């Protein structure tokens, strides 16, 4: 069954956002609906955002009204450092239950359910196999709250899959994710000047790059897979090897006995190692990733390459930090851009913001400005030089304001002059003045 | 130190029969890496092999090997041996024998107790020198998917715990799990007999109280332990080592491992062969120190 109408839960999480962005580029997917109770954190083009918490009655109405055929649940919290245990439980167990309830029922349009889980499902124990494969359960019952949540959430997905045999359900268990954009406890540990270790232990680690996570979810949507799958890059690294690849020394600062006490002391110093990461620092974990490969998926990165990529990012990060403004979701702007009759065509609306137009605008402004400011521009005057002018006049005040941040001071001055002579919209003039005033300071 | 077992799902321990095609998807080793996916390090292993193991093999125990041709030169095979000694030297000697005497020298994966994974130091060192935890899934992957040599001691702890007075008397061979593993992977079993290890590290007594205090697997009294400390564990007496590799037992049919009766029969057969050959080797031995 080819997915056409997709619902992504957890749109505001890193994974939900990235997945929705990735799905937008597939033309065969005609509708992408994202639900979450918080605003999206990435810029989305055609994904519809519905602000709704995991309430099954509301979700069910969304699912049925939009005739959603595929639900991708990316919401699972797998890192207990990101939230409190009770919130994690609420999200992981109760939330999953509600989403499953919204997808079940005899008349439900849902035909496919993809669940993002974690290899924390297996836990880390002394008597683990070196490579977990999908058919193995946990050797012991879960010890940490987050593992308990994951096991419970997966159990309810399995239950759902059994009760609704016409829905193809798949669970993807991801190994520790590394990448420049995602934040996890382990990346935090690896960002320290030295990689902390437990004295006398060199655990085995397997990683998956963030892009591979998105591709794996995409693959699960687009191809005919169902069942359980481990998703982890090829290769299992020892932690000392990871430190070497990152170009950092390793520091066996945690004692082998009384590790919990030492960890709580470190928490006071500001280094928080969640309990599931602590278990991994001791025993490590490897998984067998072949079953997912057998479905035709190919990884972009091995574990080693994922670590190398992270290392590159960590070296560069202090230099480029803050250069990019984080995206902020503004409902009114998004709605205007999507639905206003003044925006020309749903696809064209983005044209108002492209770099080409910006530079066109700049050229125009340069020409409009004082005669002496010729600049280096006359090398290529486009024949349709007038278009940007008309275009500019068509821009709504809000859009002009949105553009201001990206303009230089001189351009701003020129724009101010142009605006005064032509439309002289007050909101625009005020905005330009305030931007200029900020630039003075 | 040991965790109580039995809670949770114990039954789903073994991998379901893997299709052959999955074998081809096994990740290869990236050439830039120093360690294998199991955590084995050629560098560390080589350093051990050239120094400590070399010394013990060649000069201290003066190991003598027969039947090395019974170890297949390619594909998976399960080596099954008798086990003894406080810090057993037999595994290292078997590994060294295959590297030294065989026409196709191969690495050997030595299965060890899960205990070591939880003990600081051991946990770091043992995987580097080619030890893997004795988990059925690990053995299966090594034998079936990777086609490697695996050494198991079915006696397990019962073998290393036994006292000097019980030397060369094989303990119970577990529940035949090793036979099941070999049958499932359709890999041959090569029984191995080691004579000399019992005298090299004789155990006179086991101190239960100290075992509990130190959290070790066992706390033996040997000629050099505990009064020379942990290094005393390496204080082997220079007994003469003799290793004999027996004819392999092949399992060609699929699904043999499901027949529990057959598994037990083969396990008994392997044990009997090793025991018989041990008596034979002891009968021929004239001197404990010179062979």
Q: What is the pLDDT of residues A74-130, one digit of tens each?
A: 999 988 888 888 999 999 999 999 999 999 888 889 999 999 999 999 999 998 999
pLDDT, position A364: 63
Domain boundaries, chain B: 38-200+240-284
- A238 CA: distance to closest CA in chain B (Å): 6
Candidates A125, A127, A152, A295, partner chain B, best to mutate (most B CBs within 10 A): A127
Q: What residues of chain A lie within 8 A of the CB of B31, using their CB?
A: none
- A203 CA: distance to closest CA in chain B (Å): 8
Question: Is B6 an interface residue toward A (CB < 8 Å)?
Answer: no
What percentage of chain A carries pLDDT values higher than 70? Answer: 84
Q: Which residue of B has its CA nearest to A141?
A: B8
- B141 CA: distance to closest CA in chain A (Å): 9
Q: Which domains does chain A have, with CATH numbers?
A: 5-320 (3.40.50.720), 331-440 (no CATH)
Q: B195 has which bridge partners? A: B242
Instruction: Report ipTM for this prediction.
Output: 0.85
- B181 CA: distance to closest CA in chain A (Å): 14
Q: What residues of chain B lie within 8 A of the CB of A238, using their CB?
A: 35, 39, 127
pLDDT, position A393: 65
- B53 CA: distance to closest CA in chain A (Å): 23
Q: Which residue of A has its CA nearest to B5?
A: A140
pLDDT, position A322: 65
- Indicate the pTM of the whole model: 0.79
Residue B138 has its nearest CB partner, among A129, A200, A202, at: A129
Residue B143 has pLDDT above 90, yes or no: yes
Residue B114 has its nearest CB partner, among A127, A201, A286, at: A127
In CATH, what number does B38-200+240-284 get? 3.40.1130.10
What percentage of chain A carries pLDDT values higher than 90? Answer: 44
- Between A339 and A295, whose confidence is greater? A295
What number of C-beta contacts closer than 8 Å exist between A and B? 119
CB contact under 8 A, B39 and A236: yes
Q: What residues of chain B lie within 8 A of the CB of A256, using their CB?
A: 120
Per-residue pLDDT tens over the stretch A158-180: 999 999 988 999 999 999 999 88
pLDDT, position A94: 93
Task: Give the model's confidence band at A181: pLDDT under 50 very low, under 70 low, under 90 confident, else very high.
Answer: confident
Determine the average pLDDT of the residues in A403-416: 74
> Mean pLDDT across chain A, nearest whole number?
83
Cα distance between residue A362 and residue A412, in whole Å: 9
Residue B33 has its nearest CB partner, among A128, A129, A304, at: A304
Per-residue pLDDT tens over the stretch A359-398: 666 666 666 554 444 444 444 444 433 334 456 666 677 6
Q: Which residue of B has its CA nearest to A139?
A: B10
């Amino acid at each position: 069954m080819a997915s056409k109408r997709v619902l992504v839960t957890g749109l505001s999480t890193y994974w939900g956002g990235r997945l929705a962005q990735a799905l937008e580029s597939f033309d065969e997917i005609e509708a992408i609906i994202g639900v979450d109770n918080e605003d999206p954190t990435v810029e989305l083009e055609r994904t519809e955002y519905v602000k709704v918490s995991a309430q099954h009655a509301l979700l069910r109405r969304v699912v049925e009204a939009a005739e959603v055929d595929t639900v991708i649940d990316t919401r699972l919290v797998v890192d207990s450092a990101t939230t409190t245990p009770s919130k994690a439980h609420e999200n992981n167990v109760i939330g999953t239950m509600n989403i499953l309830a919204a997808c079940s029922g005899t008349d439900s349009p849902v035909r496919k359910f993809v669940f993002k889980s974690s290899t924390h499902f297996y836990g880390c124990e002394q008597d683990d196999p070196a490579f977990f494969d999908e058919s193995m359960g946990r050797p012991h019952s879960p010890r940490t709250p987050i593992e308990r949540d994951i096991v419970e959430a997966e159990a309810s997905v399995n239950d759902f899959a059994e009760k609704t045999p016409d829905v193809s359900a798949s669970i993807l268990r991801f190994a520790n994710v590394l990448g420049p954009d995602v934040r996890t406890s382990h990346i935090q540990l690896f960002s320290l000047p030295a990689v902390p270790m437990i004295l006398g232990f060199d655990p085995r680690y397997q990683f998956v790059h963030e892009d591979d996570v998105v591709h794996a979810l995409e693959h699960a949507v687009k191809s005919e897979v169902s069942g359980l799958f481990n998703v982890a890059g090829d290769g299992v690294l020892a932690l000392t090897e990871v430190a070497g690849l990152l170009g950092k020394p390793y520091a066996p600062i945690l004692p082998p006995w009384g590790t919990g006490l030492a960890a709580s002391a470190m928490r006071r110093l500001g280094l928080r190692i969640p309990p599931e990461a602590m278990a991994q620092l001791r025993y490590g974990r490897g998984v067998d990733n072949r079953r997912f490969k057998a479905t035709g998926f190919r990884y972009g990165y091995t574990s080693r390459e994922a670590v190398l990529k992270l290392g590159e990012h960590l070296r560069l990060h202090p230099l480029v930090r803050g250069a990019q403004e984080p995206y902020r979701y503004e409902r009114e702007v998004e709605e205007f851009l999507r639905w206003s009759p003044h925006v020309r065509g749903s696809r064209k609306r983005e044209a108002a913001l492209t770099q080409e137009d910006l530079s066109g605008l700049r050229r125009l402004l340069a020409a409009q400005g004082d005669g002496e400011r010729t600049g280096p521009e006359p090398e290529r005057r486009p024949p349709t030089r007038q278009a940007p002018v008309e275009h500019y006049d068509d821009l709504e005040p809000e859009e002009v304001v949105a553009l201001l941040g990206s303009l230089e001071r001189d351009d701003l001055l020129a724009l101010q002059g142009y605006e005064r002579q032509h439309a002289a919209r007050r909101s625009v003039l005020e905005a330009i003045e305030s931007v200029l005033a900020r630039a003075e300071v | 130190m040991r965790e109580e077992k039995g809670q949770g799902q114990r039954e789903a321990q073994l991998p379901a029969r893997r299709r052959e095609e999955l074998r081809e998807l096994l990740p290869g080793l990236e050439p830039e890496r120093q360690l294998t996916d199991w955590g084995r390090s050629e560098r560390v292993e080589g350093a051990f092999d050239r120094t400590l193991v070399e010394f013990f093999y060649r000069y201290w125990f003066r190991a003598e090997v027969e039947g090395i041709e019974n170890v297949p030169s390619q594909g998976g095979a399960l080596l099954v041996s008798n086990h003894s000694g406080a810090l057993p030297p037999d595994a290292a000697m078997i590994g060294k024998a295959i590297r030294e005497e065989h026409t196709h020298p191969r690495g050997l994966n030595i299965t060890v107790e899960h205990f070591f994974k939880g003990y600081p130091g051991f946990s770091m060192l043992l995987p580097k020198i080619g030890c893997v935890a004795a988990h059925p899934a690990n053995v299966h992957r090594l034998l079936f998917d990777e086609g490697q040599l695996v050494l198991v001691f079915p006696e397990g702890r019962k073998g290393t715990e036994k006292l000097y007075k019980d030397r060369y008397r094989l303990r119970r061979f577990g529940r035949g799990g090793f036979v099941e593993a070999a049958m499932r992977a359709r890999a041959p079993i090569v029984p191995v007999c080691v004579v000399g290890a019992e005298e090299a590290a004789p155990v006179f007594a086991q101190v239960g109280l100290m075992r509990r205090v130190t959290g070790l697997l066992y706390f033996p009294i040997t000629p050099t332990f505990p009064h020379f400390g942990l290094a005393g564990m390496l204080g082997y007496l220079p007994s003469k080592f003799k290793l004999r590799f027996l004819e392999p037992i092949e399992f060609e049919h699929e699904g043999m491992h499901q027949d529990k009766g057959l598994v037990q029969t083969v396990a008994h057969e392997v044990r009997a062969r090793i025991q018989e050959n041990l008596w034979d080797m002891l009968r021929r031995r004239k001197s404990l120190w010179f062979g």
